[in-house]
């Protein structure tokens, strides 16, 4: 593992690991889903919002396609992945299922062509070059790809975590909206490490509102993960991206 801090550094391997027996694994995933649904419902109620306003994206990175299949059987329809190699293989393995695929990780321009073939929404758009690459790829694939501007909420943005600072969001949003093959759908952020997520998500809500002034159709706010979905929903999140709380702790991430 490099010295760079990533989202995954907050995690420790689960000594027990996922159940090997398919029936036991199914029961684990069902329990995880019920608990996450309970937390989402509770957060919506606390915020005076309807449960329908929040889409749950199950983040299945590092877990096998069999888990994706089970989650879909349990009623999940939105699946998130953060690496193209893994995501494209799972999308192919699950091509028979009614899944909306979300690409949530940092994206290199040379992977845009692959991602545009399966992703309905790319959450991590943070630079003009990537906008151009994704637009060309979407046109080539004959698809319309929803794009979110990833906002860096850190006081001192860390390039390794991706995202554009709030002052740069309008430029990327305008570029997406002007690009054939792409639709500007909204904004996305990951809460800064070591900071109270609530004020950070409040800043994201302000950024989202500013984007909607110029682009009323850009209504998505993708925020909130296993540890902070409550604060995200309190601050207007329309999409929460949940991995650990659904599927269990991941093995440490090695790039």
Ligand X SMILES: *Cc1c(COP(=O)(O)O)cnc(C)c1O
- Contacts with ligand X by CB under 6 A lie at 7, 59, 61, 82, 104-105, 190, 225-227, 241-245
Nearest to ligand X of 147, 225 (CB atom) = 225
Contact assessment for residue 234 and residue 54, using Cβ atoms and an 8 Å cutoff: no
HSE toward the beta carbon, residue 32, CA cutoff 13 A: 26
Least Å distance, CB 240 to ligand X, is: 9
Nearest to ligand X of 57, 136 (CB atom) = 57
Give the relative orientation of helices 65-73 and 22-47 as an angle to the nearest 10 degrees: 60
Contact assessment for residue 143 and residue 181, using Cβ atoms and an 8 Å cutoff: yes
- CA separation, residue 144 to residues 55, 82, 85, 90 (Å): 20, 20, 21, 21
Nearest to ligand X of 173, 225 (CB atom) = 225
Nearest to ligand X of 91, 190 (CB atom) = 190
Residue 138 CB contacts under 8 Å (≥ 6 apart), including other chains: 116, 144, 145, 180, 181, 182
Q: Which residue is nearest to ligand X (CB)?
A: 243
Least Å distance, CB 224 to ligand X, is: 8
Least Å distance, CB 117 to ligand X, is: 20
Least Å distance, CB 106 to ligand X, is: 9
Nearest to ligand X of 1, 178 (CB atom) = 1
Least Å distance, CB 4 to ligand X, is: 14
Tokens 């690409």 sit on residue:
103
The two tokens of residue 101 are 């695929």
């Amino acid at each position: 593992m490099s010295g760079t801090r990533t989202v995954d550094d907050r995690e420790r391997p689960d000594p027990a690991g996922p159940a090997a027996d398919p029936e036991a694994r199914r029961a684990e995933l069902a329990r995880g889903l019920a608990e996450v649904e309970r937390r989402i419902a509770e957060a919506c109620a606390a915020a005076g919002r309807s449960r329908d306003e929040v889409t749950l994206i199950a983040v299945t990175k590092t877990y096998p396609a069999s888990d994706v299949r089970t989650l879909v059987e349990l009623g999940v329809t939105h699946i998130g992945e953060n690496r193209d190699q893994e995501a494209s293989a799972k999308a192919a393995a699950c091509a028979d299922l009614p899944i909306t695929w979300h690409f949530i990780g940092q994206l290199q321009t040379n992977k845009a062509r692959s991602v545009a073939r399966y992703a309905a929404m790319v959450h991590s758009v943070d630079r003009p070059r990537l906008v151009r690459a994704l637009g060309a790829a979407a046109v080539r694939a004959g698809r319309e790809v929803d794009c979110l501007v990833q906002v860096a909420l850190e006081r001192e943005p860390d390039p390794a975590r991706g995202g554009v600072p709030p002052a740069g969001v309008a430029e990327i949003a305008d570029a997406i909206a002007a690009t054939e093959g792409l639709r500007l759908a909204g904004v996305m952020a990951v809460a800064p490490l070591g900071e109270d997520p609530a004020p950070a998500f409040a800043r994201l809500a302000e950024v989202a509102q500013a984007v909607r002034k110029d682009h009323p159709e850009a209504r998505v706010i993708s925020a909130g993960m296993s540890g902070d979905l409550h604060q995200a929903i309190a601050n207007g999140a329309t999409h929460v991206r949940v991995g650990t709380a659904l599927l269990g702790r991941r093995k440490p991430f090695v790039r």
